[in-house]
Structure 1
């Protein structure tokens, strides 16, 4: 399986002739292009930086073969459509050559005064990759590559380190890093990476970079 990193929390996954896009949000400049070539879109939660509602709705209208999976709130926002599927923890979805299991329930706490929406993570291709959305939920399954959120109002480096230790991936790739400067990204990688708190290699991929998992 190949992964292409887009800006912020969005990634494209490809295996054989199947292409999935996870979390094409408003902070991802090439989200529309990525979605235009996808067989399915997976959304972790309804926040605009993960779910560009207008973009996804337009793609559904333009492409009758496109499937969309997300939380109940995401499905409601897109309206009644047989190609929009509400998913929750414990569900399994299959698109072409790729299968994903759904994990977790809630967005990480930002502040007691700010409601936490539902948030799900996707474990793809028998544990080859885990995208947690905006949460540090640990799936009860092995994970080869963990996509690790490293910036945002809910993130905390100490909790991120404990998350990596609990998941025990072979590899970590930074996502949700847009709010960090270059220095901040490097410092975070040093703190959380192979020579830091987790002992696990952490990669910083520029948007547009494709790697084999």
Structure 2
């Protein structure tokens, strides 16, 4: 499996049988040039996870890509928790993963997680929901208005993946500080892998 990080929560996952793009949002860049996609999966409707201005061009460049989201989105199929999406030769289970609380006064959108090929990769969106099964590679939320750094470390320990790729880091002036803490507190056998922006890495 090859993963490319386009910043923040946007990741391209190439399983060898499907190319899937997650959360092409406003704080990410470079995903506009991606072609050959089988699917575009959106975890929730916040702009940092879905840029409505750049989505049409992305879809035009990938006419065969299915679009899934857990909310009403033009041209998208509804991503319902518990559903299993068949994408090329890859299966993706939609995980019931509610958005974390930002503040009691702030309404929360519907959020889902996506579990690829029975745990080969897990993208939780803005949730710290543990999927309840083995995860090989985890997209690890690193910083957000709804979390402390210790929350990220605890989530990493609870999931216990083979490798974790920090995501949702664009809100930080210097994410390296968070990366050091996450690396230093990772359980034995868990490797935190910071992906260079826009470069693919086999994991």
Q: Per-residue deviation at 1:146?
A: 0.8
Matching residue of 1:32 = 32
- The aligned residue for residue 142 of structure 2 is 150
| Structure 2: segments with no counterpart, 5+ residues | none
Secondary structure (helix, strand or coil) at the match of 2:94 reads: strand
Q: Are the equivalent residues in 2 in contact too, given 1:59–1:66 (CA < 8 A)?
A: no
Instruction: Give the TM-score of the pair, scaled to structure 2.
Output: 0.91
Give unpaired runs (5+ residues) of structure 1. none
The answer as to 2:6 corresponding to 1:14 is no
Match of 1:190 among 169, 180, 184: 180
* Runs of 4+ more than 3 Å apart: 57-64
Cα RMSD (Å): 1.8
Tell me: CA distance 1:63–1:158, structure 2 relative to 1, closer, same or farther (3 Å). closer
Whether 1:57 and 2:46 are equivalent positions in the alignment is: no
Superposed, 1:78-93 pairs within 5 Å as 78=74, 81=75, 84-93=76-85
Between Structure 1 and Structure 2, how many residues are aligned? Answer: 202
Displacement after TM superposition at 1:197 (Å): 5.3
d(CA) in 1 for partners of 2:36, 2:106: 35
Aligned to 1:98: 90
Q: Match of 1:207?
A: 197
Q: 1:20–1:39: 8 Å Cα contact kept in structure 2?
A: yes
| Aligned twin of 1:42 | 41
Summarize the alignment of residues 64-75 of structure 1 with structure 2, pairs less than 5 Å apart: 64-71=63-70, 73=71
Are 1:53 and 1:77, in contact at CA under 8 Å, matched by a contact in 2?
no
Question: Normalising to structure 1: TM-score of the pair?
Answer: 0.87
Distance in 1 (CA, whole Å) between partners of 2:139 and 2:62 is 28
